[in-house]
Amino acid sequence: MILVPVLVLIGLGLVIVYSASSHLAEHRLADSSFYLKRQALFCAAGLLLMVLAKKIPCTLYSKMVYPLLVLSFCLLGILFVPGIGHKVGGASRWIRMSGFSFQPSEFVKFTLAVYMAYSMSKKASDMGRLRTGLAHHLVVAGLFIVLILLEPDLGTSLIIGGWLMIMLFVGGVRLWQIGSVLAISSVVVWQLIARADYRMHRWLAFLNPWDDPQGIGFQIIHSFLAFGSGGLFGAGPGAGKQKLFYLPEPHTDFALSVAGEELGFVGVAFIVLLFGLLIMRGIKVALNARDLYSSYLALGIICLIGLQAIVNMGVVLGLLPTKGLTLPFISYGGSALILNLTGIGVLLNISSKT
């Protein structure tokens, strides 16, 4: 119940990516299957890494935790080197090589999952102490969060920050400490939103997109229209209208909106069910793991996947402000897909040892 939901989600993702991107790719690149072919290549690479990760003992990652941290730090630092960091929409989040882009923040997520599992299992009896429990992990993870914020990428920073609080809570950090961090962080996040016009526009669009339907509310309104017109069973694969240059970038952040229009409520419910099965099974693997390190590693991986899926679903349904986050296994994107499948391979390895 880990492998099957993932494979089905990948299959649905390929269909959705092709349907959502074919007209866009034909218009931009004169090749309607451009994004499909690249996504299929990412799937193949990710599945290969998943199989390899299934064979590699998860304890090997704990021995490589500090090299992984250094490598992650260097990859994020490279983004700020002129000519190397590739800018899209004013944000330098990608390293482009030979026509392919790599997003270091996706690798950082995996690295932090390994680091937190290693560190929390090593300090298990001292996690309730402020210095060894909260402060130590907050400093290390906070360094990466700050670098990601500087790209700028507030959405990924919030995902990692929220995930960190979940891991620290499970690890035994006291509630008042976590509450204090959340209170301070909320003030900082609000300041970051208030001081950036595009972030404030996203917040206003979340509160009432109908105030400016042709401006800041355009994207989320067309997401609503996609879900609403899908009805119970949808218009059918490929028959959606909102992807026809109404819904911006429908194959990435708003892929679920395309699924809602073409597969309907039943199709979206099936996707949610698959994610639910995957998350529940991942948590069960964490609970049944043979040692504390493996348990924390499994929990860290499945929480990252689950949290991003929940946030993306909330965004496209207008329950959360727009974050610019993709839906795992469904949306177009190589870095996220390959790293998520690698994480699934680690989960399968831990599951096989229980």
* Beta strands 85-88 and 91-97, pairing class: antiparallel
Mean pLDDT of 131-158: 92
Mean pLDDT of 325-332: 93
* Beta strands 100-102 and 91-97, pairing class: antiparallel
| Mutual angle of helices 292-316 and 154-171, in 10-degree steps | 140
Domain count, the chain: 1
CA–CA dist 295, 291 (Å, integer):
6
Q: Residue 90's pLDDT is what?
A: 66
Mean pLDDT of 86-96: 75
pLDDT in tens, 16-74: 999 999 988 998 888 889 999 999 999 999 999 999 999 999 999 999 999 999 999 99
Percentage, residues of the chain above pLDDT 70: 99
Q: Residue 254's pLDDT is what?
A: 93
The residues, ordered by sequence, that sit 6+ positions from 74 with a Cβ below 8 Å of its Cβ are none
- pLDDT at residue 83 greater than cutoff 80: no
- pLDDT at residue 162 greater than cutoff 90: yes
pLDDT in tens, 107-136: 999 999 999 999 999 998 889 898 889 999
Q: Which domain holds residue 98?
A: 3-352
CA–CA dist 328, 164 (Å, integer):
19
**pTM, full prediction:** 0.93
pLDDT in tens, 172-211: 999 999 999 999 999 999 999 998 888 888 898 888 888 8
pLDDT in tens, 213-272: 888 888 899 999 999 999 999 998 888 888 888 888 889 989 999 999 999 999 999 999
- pLDDT at residue 296 greater than cutoff 70: yes
Q: Residue 227's pLDDT is what?
A: 94
Continuous segment of H or E residues that includes residue 107: helix 104-122
Q: Residue 341's pLDDT is what?
A: 97
